[in-house]
């Protein structure tokens, strides 16, 4: 499944759709809110589900090469962070679902 | 690739919104140079952790990245407080990060362990009250 297909079919709201990144195939789902753990363990090309919504989330997403970020529990980026997501072409989606349910939805779509 | 490329960056103290800019820049440059994605990812992760450590603990500092066809060497130098117990600091889960930093999602005690895990060699030269120089090497 590509990032674009996740955007189209997940029901999650796109905060930033991301540029070329939308063609990327999603390799799996990863959940964690502690950034250094996510940094060290999030697999490249995964959909990363977290409630940590700040500038540093985006830095980790870009550096660890995740395919997209899913903000769960209604977590929201502030304006400056949303702008950074746009500038860096990082796909960010948001949902009111809890972390597990959001991850399960992505996982189910991947199967 | 040229034989040797040197990149230098200054890391601002206590500026969490800009932390990661140096690592992102290195990542993009390495990609353009055609360095393998797995090596680029290792450099990005190790350097970002170092950059964040400088922001959290050391009032910023300076980073030099040397790129040759054989290896990438990152030298992170600060004039911060130094690391009291390097062995402890290398343990997963050990952290001295303050609460306001933890609320941003840091302070999991994974910084130095990640830097060790994602590099082929790490040397930490630290002196209390003087500063710390971390030298990380990734072989290509």
Tens digits of residue pLDDT in A44-64: 999 999 999 999 999 999 999
Tens digits of residue pLDDT in B30-65: 999 999 999 999 999 999 999 999 999 999 999 999
Q: What is the pLDDT of residue A20?
A: 76
Full-model pTM: 0.89
Please compute the mean of the pLDDT values over residues A9-31 and round it to a whole number. 92
Nearest alpha-carbon partner for B22 in B82, B102, B72, B76: B76
ipTM: 0.82
Q: What is the pLDDT of residue B106?
A: 92
Q: What is the pLDDT of residue A18?
A: 80
* Distance (Å, whole) CA A107 – CA A30: 10
Q: What is the pLDDT of residue B64?
A: 98
* Distance (Å, whole) CA B102 – CA A95: 24
Tens digits of residue pLDDT in B84-102: 999 999 999 999 999 999 9
Flag whether pLDDT at B2 surpasses 70: no
Q: What percent of chain B has pLDDT over 70?
A: 99
* Distance (Å, whole) CA B68 – CA B75: 14
Flag whether pLDDT at B15 surpasses 90: no
A40 chain-B contacts, CB cut-off 8 A? 45, 110, 113-114, 117-118
* Distance (Å, whole) CA B9 – CA A59: 17
Q: Please give the distance of CA B62 from its chain centroid, rounded to a whole number.
A: 10
Mean pLDDT of chain B: 94
Q: What is the pLDDT of residue B1?
A: 52
DSSP state of B67: E
- pLDDT-derived band at A98 (thresholds 50, 70, 90) equals very high
Q: Nearest by CB to A59, which of B48, B108, B110?
A: B48
Q: What is the sign of the dihedral through the CA atoms of A60, B109, B41 and B69?
A: positive
Enclosing domain of residue A104: 3-110
Q: What is the pLDDT of residue B49?
A: 95
Contact: A36, B108; criterion CB under 8 Å: yes
Architecture field, domain B5-139: 2-Layer Sandwich (3.30)
The partner residues of B124 in beta bridges, in order of sequence, read B134
Please compute the mean of the pLDDT values over residues A96-100 and round it to a whole number. 98
A50: domain CATH number? 3.40.1390.20
Nearest CA in chain B to A43: B41
The partner residues of B5 in beta bridges, in order of sequence, read B67
Residue to mutate among B105, B113, B116, B119, with most A CBs inside 10 A, is: B105
Please compute the mean of the pLDDT values over residues A5-25 and round it to a whole number. 91
Nearest alpha-carbon partner for B79 in B65, B58, B64: B58
CA A41 to chain B, closest CA, distance in angstroms equals 9
Q: What is the pLDDT of residue B41?
A: 93
């Amino acid at each position: 499944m590509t990032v674009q297909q996740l955007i189209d079919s997940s029901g999650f709201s796109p905060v930033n759709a991301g540029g070329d990144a939308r063609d990327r195939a999603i390799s799996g789902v990863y959940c964690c809110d502690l950034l250094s753990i996510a940094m060290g363990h999030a697999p490249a090309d995964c959909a990363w589900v977290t409630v940590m919504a700040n500038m540093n989330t985006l830095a980790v997403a870009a550096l660890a090469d995740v395919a997209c970020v899913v903000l769960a529990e209604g977590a929201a980026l502030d304006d400056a962070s949303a702008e950074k997501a746009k500038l860096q072409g990082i796909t960010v989606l948001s949902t009111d679902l809890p972390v597990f349910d959001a991850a399960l939805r992505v996982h189910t779509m991947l199967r | 690739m040229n034989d040797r490329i040197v990149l230098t960056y200054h890391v601002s103290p206590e500026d969490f919104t800009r932390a990661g800019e140096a690592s992102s820049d290195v990542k993009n440059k390495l990609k353009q140079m055609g360095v393998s994605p797995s090596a680029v990812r290792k450099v990005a992760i190790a350097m970002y952790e170092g950059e964040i450590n400088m922001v959290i603990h050391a009032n910023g500092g300076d980073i030099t990245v040397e790129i040759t066809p054989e290896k990438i060497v990152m030298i992170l130098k600060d004039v911060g407080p130094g690391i009291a117990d390097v062995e402890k600091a290398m343990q997963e889960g050990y952290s001295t990060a303050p609460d306001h930093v933890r609320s941003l999602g840091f302070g999991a005690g994974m910084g130095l362990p990640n830097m060790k895990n994602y590099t082929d060699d790490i040397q930490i030269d630290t002196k209390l009250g003087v500063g710390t120089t971390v030298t990380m090497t990734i072989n290509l």
